[in-house]
């Protein structure tokens, strides 16, 4: 089957977007320069055809009306009609490319941001509020395309402005200088408005992001809030933040209104100045009546390129504010960056051998059920995290002679699965949540996890819908469903952190027995202080102060190590 060519609007895996707002905009522009150029090729004749109408009308006045030449009047009238047709056809093409440039830039921004979110993982929400990330995906990508949308009109405005200025210079040096100097000065004066507008827009978007994050956090913890009677406290916080967003929006609206009014006021002032100078020259006899008509038409036309320039500045502010937020997402480093190109190490299956954590001294022999025990559960949980590379940094964990740090995260996680103490369940059909290849394997995993009651709690069994985070189930049921999900993955190394902490002793005994039998001959690590699970382990490591202080079977350690007995039986020595 022939390989499909890459989609021209997509982003290649090796194509890295810069984590800087201005460079990101340039990066996007470079990848769609053809459509930007095509839009400009339509935008220039579209704007020029409008700009040249006053010149043609002026010639019609001088050559036709003043000279009483009907033929010349008809010819120049047909020229006006031709310019109108050119403006209409070029305007259609310009608009088509404007929409395309907007959509493509917004799409590419979304693609690179989505890729950055997937790469960063949980590190993203630690570096920026979840609400801000959500705001970027709901609104910023559309704003990223605003500048590209206006680009074709802006280029046409610049070219037409220069052409009209040259025409005026040829007719009157004074009017030409007023055009060439006055227009840029008027646009430059808007910097006094645009800079505070940019600051206020950024502040308003940050406050809106905090409001979104507050709402999202509250929805996720709504049951807890209701349980402790915290609804009023939330409403007070939400109301206060909402008012902060409102005040920030009012500050933005005031500055935005000033900019919008400047789009009308400044070109209007410019029209008055040019018309006044032109009228004075006509009265003095320095220009003809047709030139006066043309100059008035030029001044009326010049409101279009000047307003376009102001709009371009306004859209560029909005785009840069959005680009800064997207750049923050792109700049977030994941906890486990993959190896850079050229790094040493294997990229295929993990090698055979002992899995060793030099920080703690834990050794996990292949094909063995190993248990980790500590009076401080966070110590053994940290060991489990290092074994599966679920925490950042370099920890020197090795598999055989190969450091795990030299392997890509995707390779490590395809072989080592860490099921944490508080695993998450997602909403949707149970069959999809569990994974697996067929219902027979799914039911077998549920049997090992002793999760028949959880299956029965759903009206339609495997087709039943799990609510968000499995909140309709008990904590023990959620925990056992998560265990079944981990078993269905059947990884080379399975690391379970407190897999039975939320179940009763009878259920725990059944899970311990079935788990040991199911994983027999495969490498398994269990972080637990449960005697029922520890009794099924082949090797038990006792960890104190982050280091292994004793190793043996559960029964050996129970007889010989008092510290182990104190942890396992909570001080009740036999």
**Range from 97-101, 311-315, 540-544 that averages highest in pLDDT:** 540-544
Report the pLDDT value the prediction gives residue 10, as an integer from 0 to 100.
Answer: 61
Residues 6+ apart with CB under 8 A from 311: 150, 153, 263
CB 175 within 8 A of CB 274: yes
CA end-to-end span of the chain: 70
d(CA 241, CA 237): 6
**Residue 7: inside a domain, yes or no?**
no
Decide if pLDDT at 400 tops 90: no
Indicate the burial class of 3 (C-beta count within 10 angstroms; 0-12, 13-18, 19 or more): exposed
Query: What's the pLDDT at 510?
Result: 93
Residues 359 and 327 in one domain: no
Is residue 216 in a domain?
no
Q: Is the pLDDT of residue 128 over 70?
A: yes
Q: Looking at residue 41, which CATH number applies to its domain?
A: 1.20.1560.10
Tokens read off for 526: 């269990």
Does the pLDDT of residue 547 top 90, yes or no? yes
Which region among 203-212, 251-260, 315-324 has the lowest average model confidence (pLDDT)?
Answer: 203-212
Residue 240: predicted pLDDT? 82
Q: In what order do the strands lie in the sheet with 362-364?
A: 362-364, 355-357, 398-399, 402-403
- Tell me how far the alpha carbon of residue 78 is from its chain's centroid: 53
Question: What number is the average pLDDT over the span 433-440?
Answer: 84
| Residue 131 clears pLDDT 70, i.e. is over it | no
In percent, the amount of the chain with pLDDT more than 90 equals 21
416 close to 385: Cβ distance less than 8 angstroms? no
Q: Looking at the structure, do residues 402 and 487 belong to the same domain, yes or no? A: yes
For residue 183, the model assigns a pLDDT of: 67
Task: Tell me the range of 171-175, 343-347, 556-560 where mean pLDDT is highest.
Answer: 556-560
Quick one: pLDDT band at residue 574, thresholds 50, 70, 90?
very low
The answer, yes or no, to whether residue 379 has pLDDT greater than 80, is yes
| Mean pLDDT score, 366-391 | 89
Domain count, the chain: 2
Dihedral of alpha carbons 335, 339, 345, 351, sign: positive
Residue 26 falls inside a structural domain: yes
Q: What's the pLDDT at 544?
A: 94
Quick check: 122 pLDDT over 80?
Answer: no
Percent of the chain residues topping a pLDDT of 70: 83
* Average pLDDT, integer, range 21-40: 89
Q: pLDDT tens, 290-323? A: 777 777 777 777 778 877 887 887 788 888 888 8
Domain check: are 95 and 165 in the same one?
A: yes
Residue 557's pLDDT is: 93
Residue 517: pLDDT above 90? yes
Whether 96 maps to a domain, the answer reads yes
- The predicted structure's pLDDT at residue 555: 92
Q: Which of 297, 331, 365 is the last residue of a domain?
A: 331
Residues 327 and 367 in one domain: no
Residue 285 is predicted with a pLDDT of: 73
- 324 pLDDT above the threshold of 60: yes
Residue 177 vs residue 417, higher pLDDT? 417
Residue 400 and residue 284 share a domain: no
pLDDT given for residue 221 in this prediction: 53
**Of 331, 365, 380, which marks where a domain is finished?**
331
User: Same structural domain for residues 284 and 421?
Assistant: no
The pLDDT of residue 342 is 35
User: What is the rounded CA–CA span in Å between residue 539 and residue 372?
Assistant: 9
- Please report whether residue 343 resides in a domain: no
Question: How far out from the chain centre does Cα 521 lie?
Answer: 43
Considering only CA atoms, which of 198, 225, 203 is closest in space to residue 214? 225
Q: Is residue 408 domain-shared with residue 293, that is, in the same domain?
A: no
Mean pLDDT, the chain, as a whole number? 80
Q: Could you tell me the residue range of the domain that residue 546 belongs to?
A: 355-568
Residues 436 and 535 in one domain: yes
Q: What is the pLDDT, as a whole number, of residue 346?
A: 39
- Label residue 347 by pLDDT band (50, 70, 90): very low
- Tell me: do 275 and 422 sit in the same domain: no
Paired strand residues for 551: 541
Do both 296 and 386 map to the same domain? no
pLDDT at 17: 83
Assign 341 a pLDDT band (cuts: 50, 70, 90). Answer: very low
Does 562 reside within a domain?
yes
| CA-based nearest residue to 359, from 320, 324, 386 | 386
- Alpha-carbon distances of 7 from 13, 34, 38, 97, rounded to whole Å: 12, 15, 20, 18
Task: Say yes or no: 423 and 285 in one domain.
Answer: no
Q: Is residue 111 part of a domain?
A: yes
- State yes or no: pLDDT of 467 exceeds 50: yes
Q: Exposed, middle or buried, 437 (CB in 10 Å: 0-12/13-18/19+)?
A: exposed
Quote the pLDDT of residue 363.
93
CATH of the domain at 431: 3.40.50.300
Chain center to CA of 475: 33
Q: How many helices (DSSP H) and strands (DSSP E) are in the chain? A: 23, 12
> How far, rounded to the nearest angstrom, does the alpha carbon of residue 346 sit from its chain's CA centroid?
31
- Is the predicted pLDDT of residue 268 greater than 60, yes or no? yes
Highest-scoring range by mean pLDDT, 52-56, 356-360, 470-474: 356-360
CA 272 to chain CA centroid, nearest Å: 48
Whether pLDDT at 169 is above 90: no
Least confident range from 78-82, 315-319, 519-523: namely: 315-319
Strand partners, 539: 370
Mean pLDDT, residues 243-252: 82
Q: What is the pLDDT at residue 393? A: 65
Grouping H, G, I as helix, E, B as strand and the rest as coil, residue 476 is helix
Q: For 442-462, what is the mean pLDDT?
A: 87
| Position 9 confidence tier, pLDDT thresholds 50, 70, 90 | low
Residue 116: pLDDT over 60 = yes
Burial of residue 415, with CB atoms counted within 10 A of its CB: 0-12 exposed, 13-18 middle, 19 or more buried: middle
Q: Is residue 344 part of a domain?
A: no
Q: Which of 109-113, 168-172, 328-332, 413-417 has the lowest mean pLDDT?
A: 168-172
The pTM of the full predicted model, rounded to 2 decimals, is: 0.55
Q: Are residues 316 and 453 in the same domain?
A: no
Is 50 exceeded by the pLDDT of residue 68? yes
Report, as an integer, the average pLDDT of 389-412.
77
């Amino acid at each position: 089957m022939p390989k499909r060519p890459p989609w021209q609007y997509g982003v290649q895996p090796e194509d890295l977007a810069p984590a800087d707002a201005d460079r990101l905009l340039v990066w996007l522009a470079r990848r769609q320069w053809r459509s930007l150029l095509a839009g400009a090729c339509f935008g220039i004749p579209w704007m020029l055809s409008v700009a040249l109408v006053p010149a043609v009308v002026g010639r019609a006045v001088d050559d036709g009306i003043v000279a009483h030449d009907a033929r010349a009047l008809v010819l120049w009238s047909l020229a006006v009609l031709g310019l109108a047709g050119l403006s209409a056809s070029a305007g259609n093409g310009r608009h088509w490319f404007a929409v395309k440039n907007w959509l493509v830039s917004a799409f590419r921004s979304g693609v690179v941001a989505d890729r950055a979110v997937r790469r960063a993982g949980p590190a993203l929400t630690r570096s920026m509020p979840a609400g801000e990330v959500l705001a970027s995906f709901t609104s910023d990508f559309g704003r990223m395309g605003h500048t590209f949308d206006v680009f074709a009109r802006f280029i046409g405005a610049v070219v037409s402005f220069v052409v009209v200025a040259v025409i005026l210079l040829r007719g009157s040096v004074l009017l030409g200088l007023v055009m060439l100097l006055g227009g840029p000065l008027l646009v430059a004066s808007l910097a006094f408005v645009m800079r505070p507008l940019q600051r206020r827009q950024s502040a308003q978007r940050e406050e809106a992001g905090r409001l979104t994050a507050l709402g999202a956090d509250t929805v996720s913890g709504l049951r807890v809030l209701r349980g402790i009677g915290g609804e009023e406290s939330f409403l007070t916080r939400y109301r206060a933040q909402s008012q902060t967003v409102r005040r920030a929006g009012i500050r933005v609206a005031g500055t935005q209104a000033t900019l919008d009014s400047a789009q009308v006021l400044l070109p209007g002032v410019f029209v008055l100045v040019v018309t006044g100078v032109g009228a004075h020259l006509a009265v003095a006899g320095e220009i003809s009546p047709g030139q006066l008509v043309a100059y008035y038409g030029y001044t009326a036309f010049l409101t279009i390129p000047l307003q376009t320039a102001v709009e371009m500045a306004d859209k560029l502010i909005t785009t840069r504010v959005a680009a800064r937020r997207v750049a923050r997402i792109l700049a977030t480093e994941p906890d486990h960056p993959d190896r850079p190109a050229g790094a040493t190490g294997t990229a295929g299956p993990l090698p055979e051998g002992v899995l060793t954590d030099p920080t703690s001294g834990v050794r996990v022999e292949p094909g063995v059920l190993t248990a980790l025990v500590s009076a401080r559960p966070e110590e053994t949980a940290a060991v489990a995290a290092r074994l599966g590379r679920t925490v950042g940094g370099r920890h020197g964990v090795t598999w055989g002679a190969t450091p795990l740090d030299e392997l890509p995260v995707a390779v490590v996680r395809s072989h080592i699965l860490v099921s944490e103490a508080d695993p998450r369940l997602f909403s949707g059909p149970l069959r999809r949540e569990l994974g697996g290849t067929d219902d027979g394997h799914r039911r077998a995993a549920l049997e090992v996890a002793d999760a028949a009651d959880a299956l029965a709690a759903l009206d339609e069994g495997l087709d039943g819908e799990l609510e968000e985070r499995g909140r309709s189930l008990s904590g023990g049921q959620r925990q056992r469903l998560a265990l079944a999900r981990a078993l269905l993955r059947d990884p080379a190394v399975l690391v379970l952190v407190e897999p039975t902490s939320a179940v009763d002793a009878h259920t725990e005994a059944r899970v311990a027995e079935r788990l040991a039998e199911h994983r027999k001959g495969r490498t398994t690590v269990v972080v637990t202080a449960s005697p029922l699970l520890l009794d099924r382990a082949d090797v038990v490591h006792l960890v104190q102060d982050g280091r292994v202080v004793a190793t043996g079977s559960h029964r050996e350690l129970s007889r010989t190590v008092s510290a182990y007995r104190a942890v396992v039986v909570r001080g009740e020595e036999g």
